[in-house]
Chain A
Amino acid sequence: MNPRLEEAAFLVTNNCFKVIGKIVLPLIRSGLLAAFFIGFIDLGTTLLIMPPGKTTLPVKIYNLMHYGAEQMVAALCLVLIGIILVFSGTFYMAYKKVTKTN
């Protein structure tokens, strides 16, 4: 994001939350969403960049599939779908609220 956009807002207000809510978040939302999907959901990228000892839910599911723990895999898949729905819904509603108050 162009830092001038933030500076232009700080000429108007010194309220960081207002600048983040009205200027920064709406502008970086697509980047945030992409980072979330790549980091949390995309298995291949996560396997490549994940540090040793750390794991994400998709990697855990992948490893469990290897050992044939099908019921556990099904449960975790449900959890993953739930997380994505909650995250996407919250983000969508927050975005609608911000654009409406603007």
Chain B
Amino acid sequence: MLKTENITKSYNKVEAVKGVTLHVAPGEVLAILGSSGSGKTTLLRLIAGFERPDAGIVSIEGIDASSPIKMIEPSKRKLSMIFQDLALWPHMTVRQHIEFVLKKDKLSKNILNSEITTILDHVSLNGHNSRYPHQLSGGEKQRLAIARALASHANYLLMDEPFSSLDSMLKEDLQQLIIELKNKLHMGIIYVTHNIEEALVLADTIAVMNKGRLEQMDSKDKVLANPKNEFVRRLLRIE
């Protein structure tokens, strides 16, 4: 289980995240919904270990990963992240992206090759091994970002609005891919978005954020049936 307890972060006395408590279990998709500037990305960065919290704790599988006095390095948290701009390495081919991640496990050449093939098969990118990111289409870039995240065999996947720039058909394909991977690999996924339709397709649980605070967190059906306040009702466009 990945948990945050009363996590708080300020920048220049402006509180970006205010006492947020949430949790996600393996095999569950938690969608964090909120408008721009609501602290969604900061929350993900706190969970990933790129920011130190001012207060509160992030714990992963029962181990404190972040607190004001303790930080475990991002690479040791058994989580992976897909950034909003994907952050693909422009000087590396598709194969080199996956190799860079797998090489930390010091695998033999045969096992490394078969792992690369398996991972690229998962995302239907086999045959593109020697292409660079600039030679890939928008959807293929997203698939490469997903493949890189899968290669680390993480227990949790953080996704920061990864499909925001895609057309609706491509978005649907990739959402389907995420659901398949979640079921196959039993990963816990935190999916940050401002798009209600995306959240409704992917999420088991929805957390609504507003101005750094968590307004409501509950199962998708419960949030839709019983929005806690006017903000949640308006964001989810509930009549």
Which A positions have Cβ atoms within 8 angstroms of B?
A: 2, 4-5, 7-14, 22-23, 26-27, 102
Contact = CB atoms under 8 A, between A and B. Distances in A.
Contacts of A13: 75, 104
SS class of chain A's interface: helix, strand, loop or mixed? helix
B91 A7 contact: no
Given A22-B100, A102-B99, A14 B75 contact: yes
User: Which of A7, A12, A26 has its CB near the most chain B CB atoms (within 10 A)?
Assistant: A12
Interface in B137-189: 148, 152
Contacts of B79: 11
Contacts of B100: 9, 12, 22, 102
A11 B48 contact: yes
A14 B48 contact: no
Given A10-B73, A23-B89, 11 more contacts: A2-B85, A7-B83, A8-B81, A8-B148, A11-B74, A11-B79, A11-B81, A12-B75, A12-B101, A12-B104, A102-B100
B80 interface: yes
B90 interface: yes
Question: 9 shortest A-B CB distances, which residue pairs?
Answer: A4-B87, A8-B87, A14-B73, A26-B91, A14-B75, A4-B83, A11-B74, A12-B101, A102-B96
A2 B99 contact: no
Contacts of A14: 73-76
Contacts of B80: 11
Contacts of A7: 48, 50, 74, 81, 83, 87
Contacts of A2: 85, 87
A83 B74 CA distance: 41
8 contacts: A7-B81, A11-B80, A11-B152, A12-B75, A13-B75, A14-B75, A27-B89, A102-B99
